[in-house]
Amino acid sequence: MEDTHWVDRAEYPFAPHWLDTEGGRMHYVDEGSGPPIVLVHGTPTWSFLYRRLIKELSGSYRCITPDLLGFGLSEKPEGYGYRPADQSRVLSRLIEHLGLRDLVLVVHDFGGPIGLSNAVDHPENVRALVLFNTWMWSLKGDRQYELGGKLMGGPIGRLLYTRMNFSPRVILRSAWAEKEKLTKEVHAQYLGPFPTPRDRRSTSVYARELLGSSDWYEGLWNRRDRIANLPALILWGEKDSAFGKQLPRWRELLPHAEVRTFPNAGHFVPEEVDGVSALVFAFLARVEQVNAHDTGSRP
């Protein structure tokens, strides 16, 4: 069992839930009742990233927020692959296990391809999408990702990630546009899941798989038409040095999406921007209104 003494229960007061999966025991939050919302994190975050959304949306919705294997309160099994395709299978297992229907997907960072894989496979089961800075296509050929991916996905990167806890200690902090918004208390919640080199393997694999899973990402992109007409809300930090320039690709894929950009926010919009929950709540209310109108107008 993971040592969770570091968890700030005042900030994160949610009851634990568990699912035994192919790779290990996965922790997830299941709060509220109503239409289901599945919130999928990236690296090096966990369900703590979405705590404000969970608190404010769970009065009207059922918020299911897993800690993907290797992150947060979930197990960190040594023999597990941690590739996005592996994590996507486990996420799909959770959705099937809970019998979630007509769900909303909220995704960020690596949670984009991991979560959207389920939407591409089952678009009939997805009501709407909410996207924070993320992607869903191969990054090969882009000089920025090629250089970063080769460095961080190689032996030097593996050493930095596993021995120095580079992902939550350095990269996460650098991705905040206004560093003072990352308090020591909040930062501690992202350092807590990774006390030893063994616990940090997932972050190292993700660095490698930024390019290593390119064929899998491209497979998702080649089926993008399956989600192109879903209602979507894009909430985007413009000062994101990792994915900030990817917004035009999303506008191309989701031409009818509602887009809100934040000029003073970096990569971690759910943490950096106040009022995100209200924006998501208003968007979902509009989606429900449209669905109700469409249903009522059918003969």
pLDDT at 2: 64
pLDDT in tens, 217-231: 999 999 999 999 999
Please answer whether residues 212 and 204 qualify as being in contact, where contact means their C-beta atoms are separated by less than 8 angstroms.
no
Q: Is the residue at 171 inside a domain?
A: no
Residue 2 identity: E
In this model, does residue 299 exceed pLDDT 80?
no
- Structurally, the chain folds into a number of domains equal to 1
Q: What is the pLDDT of residues 257-295, one digit of tens each?
A: 999 999 999 999 999 999 999 999 999 999 998 877 665
| Mean pLDDT across 55-60 | 98
81 part of a folded domain: yes
Quote the pLDDT of residue 151: 84
Nearest Cα to Cα of residue 207 among 141, 294, 148: 148
CATH of the domain at 281: 3.40.50.1820
Rounded Cα gap, residues 156 and 289, in angstroms: 52
* Pick from 214, 171, 205: nearest CA to 78: 205
* pLDDT tens per residue, range 201-215: 999 999 999 999 999
Range of 81's domain? 17-139+216-296
The answer to whether residue 242 is domain-embedded is: yes
Q: Give the tokens for residue 69.
A: 């294997």
Does 30 map to a domain? yes
Contact present, 281 and 60 (Cβ < 8 Å): yes
Catalytic residue numbers read: 109, 240, 267
Work out the number of other CB atoms within 10 angstroms of the CB of residue 257.
Answer: 18
Three-state secondary structure call for residue 107: strand
